[in-house]
Amino acid sequence: LAKTTQPISMDSYEGQEVNITCSHNNIATNDYITWYQQFPSQGPRFIIQGYKTKVTNEVASLFIPADRKSSTLSLPRVSLSDTAVYYCLVADYGGSQGNLIFGKGTKLSVKP
């Protein structure tokens, strides 16, 4: 499994765009990149997943450069309710392994 590195914490203000970058230098050809969001005392929630270039959904965008050694989760115009821990995961979604590894994630604090 490719190891990921992301900032421990980030601060932002309401209405700003937040970009959280994740480093995964050892990503393999079959690996996909997935981001999860976790609120206090709740289970993580799937946000977005991608393989290369850019993926966008109603919640966020995911930017992946050509070398795929990093990825950036972009949250447009954050609100107080976006305060949460965000996890970056890299896993072989076509392989036989049956579990994901969650690191400590990035704790995002949005202030008014």
State the residues that interact with other proteins by CB under 8 A.
Answer: 34, 36, 41-46, 49, 87, 91, 93-105
Least distance (Å) between residue 66 CB and other proteins: 24
Q: By C-beta, is 80 or 101 nearer to other proteins?
A: 101
**Least distance between other proteins and beta carbon 51 (Å):** 12
- Pick between residue 52 and residue 77 the one whose CB is nearest to other proteins: 52
Q: Which is closer to other proteins, CB of 9 or CB of 26?
A: 9
Give the residue with the Cβ less far from other proteins, 81 or 96.
Answer: 96
> Rounded to the nearest whole angstrom, what is the least distance from the CB of residue 15 to other proteins in the complex?
28
The C-alpha atoms of residue 82 and residue 62 are separated, in whole angstroms, by 16
Say how far apart CA 63 and CA 111 lie, in whole Å.
Answer: 25
Distance of closest approach, residue 41 Cβ to other proteins, in angstroms? 7
Q: Which two tokens stand for residue 46?
A: 């799937």
Say if CB 59 and CB 36 are below 8 A apart. Answer: no
Specify burial of residue 58 (Cβ count, 10 A radius: 0-12, 13-18, 19+): exposed
- Rg value, the chain, Cα: 14
